[in-house]
Structure 1
């Protein structure tokens, strides 16, 4: 939405270069602020406008970073090519060498189109498509190495490559929502992409609203040990030997636990369908 459209909707609004110092509503857009008196708005309108135009406490120069203006300030951007957006969240040590870290990022990614922080801990990297782009495992190694070098802890959501068009902003906003939703549910993954979380993300709402699932959850007692087994089996794609190794458990002991669980519930964690169902019950 542009300032022109806001003016048509709210002709009493004012365009300013800075935020209002009063209790008026200041909406950041196109590098300026559209200011509205809150008493002229309904509460639902205020919530909607604040969601559409979130106030930012971290300054990014839209002239130096046009992608920021496009993604966060509804500014226009002439795009050509195919891009992916990597969102990251970094926990920094007290003596974090930020300039050196940023220089390392620029050196590592030769096809980087733009890169900036959106808050003290969050940021995005926009990479243009190249046939020699890094795959997920390579990206995981890169960020683990950076964390080891800079004593940091980074979580990265690797977006998909999409051609630049009128859908680009909407696609980013959905990926942004996926990252915000799933970052708290990650177990042992610091770098991930949509396939890693798609099953959980797209079924979570349906699971939470299903009376069958709610009833089943009450009847099915998933102990901490069984939950660890389910998650380990899931991450090892059902492989018994790898799961036992991850759990520091003897393979025969794991087999015994699985048989016992089957006797109690009728669910065999050796079957992928049953394993998926139990995984969704745990993570819903």
Structure 2
């Protein structure tokens, strides 16, 4: 997105040399700042704009990390192959052994082409496609093990494999938006990919704009308990046994809650269509 496009979308914004106050969102672009009053923005807009215009607290040496320049500044990169980008947010303890953590990452990922932090807690792994690439479940285990070893907490978005061509930086930008938007709503999963969030990400605006959905949501009273049941059922693809284990709830008790909900609403959480609808209602 160019500064001209920003001005078109946000005519109340100002271009200035320095950051704005704490009440303003300051977006770095072309050596200056585009400053917007946060009171005029929704929280989702703020997150999205921050992901599109990240302020790099780290100096990244582009001679050592040419992928950084390629992805963020569209600097030409003479490389061939198919790659995926694993974005991560790392919550560190006070005494974090960062160099040891980075060494572990390099040892774990044999097909790693580049790896860098772009801020205090955010970074990216660029992995070349090989037949032995890690699947989502394996990556989740890897990050959980690292968190246990280093007393950290990692949230990771596993990007798709794409050819390294002129389109990849734009695809990465969209994956950044998805990660920033869905990291909180995903709930219960610290490592996820596009299929995990595609339904929610691409339908939430339509759900929010539908008068039918808004009216239905107001009429449908969802207690915190039934919301937890809906989320657990969604994570377990509607499997009752797995859901009851997740919730530490007896299988018969869960059946009773589901039947009660059906009597009250006419929605059966045992049917995937009804479960999808209820999931979207509570995550919109």
What residue ranges of structure 1 are gaps of 5+ in the alignment? 3-19, 39-48
1:184 aligns with 2:184: yes
Distance in 2 (alpha carbons) for counterparts of 1:51 and 1:97: 27
Which residue number in structure 2 is paired with residue 164 of structure 1?
164
Q: How many angstroms does 1:267 deviate by?
A: 0.5
Matches within 5 A, 1:8-87: 33=31, 54-87=54-87
Which residue number in structure 1 is paired with residue 261 of structure 2?
261
Distance in 2 (alpha carbons) for counterparts of 1:246 and 1:97: 33
CA contact (8 A) 1:28 1:73 kept: no
Which residue number in structure 2 is paired with residue 95 of structure 1?
95
Which residue number in structure 1 is paired with residue 122 of structure 2?
122
CA contact (8 A) 2:18 2:33 kept: no
Q: 1:56 to 1:281 in 2, by over 3 A?
A: same
Q: How many angstroms does 1:246 deviate by?
A: 1.4
CA contact (8 A) 2:268 2:274 kept: yes
Which residue number in structure 1 is paired with residue 210 of structure 2?
210
Q: 1:182 to 1:167 in 2, by over 3 A?
A: same
Q: How many angstroms does 1:185 deviate by?
A: 1.1
SS at match of 1:123: strand
What's the TM-score once normalised by structure 1's chain length?
A: 0.82
1:204-261 deviation digits (Å, cap 9, x = unpaired): 1111111111000001001111101111111111111111121121211111111111
Q: How many angstroms does 1:57 deviate by?
A: 2.5
What's the TM-score once normalised by structure 2's chain length?
A: 0.82
SS at match of 1:269: coil
CA contact (8 A) 1:28 1:54 kept: no
Q: 1:210 to 1:196 in 2, by over 3 A?
A: same
Q: Which moved more, 1:254-263 or 1:88-97?
A: 254-263
1:86-141 deviation digits (Å, cap 9, x = unpaired): 00000001110000100111111111010000000000000000001111111111
What residue ranges of structure 2 are gaps of 5+ in the alignment? 3-16, 21-25, 36-48
CA contact (8 A) 1:91 1:152 kept: yes
Q: How many angstroms does 1:50 deviate by?
A: 9.7
Tell me the C-alpha RMSD between the 2 structures. 2.7
Task: Give the aligned length.
Answer: 254
SS at match of 2:184: coil
Q: Which moved more, 1:75-84 or 1:271-280?
A: 75-84
Distance in 2 (alpha carbons) for counterparts of 1:126 and 1:269: 40
1:44-71 deviation digits (Å, cap 9, x = unpaired): xxxxx99976543221111111111111
1:243 aligns with 2:208: no
Q: How many angstroms does 1:27 deviate by?
A: 6.0
Distance in 2 (alpha carbons) for counterparts of 1:259 and 1:202: 31
Distance in 2 (alpha carbons) for counterparts of 1:183 and 1:281: 18
Q: 1:76 to 1:181 in 2, by over 3 A?
A: same
Matches within 5 A, 1:110-149: 110-149=110-149
CA contact (8 A) 1:268 1:275 kept: yes
Distance in 2 (alpha carbons) for counterparts of 1:275 and 1:149: 37
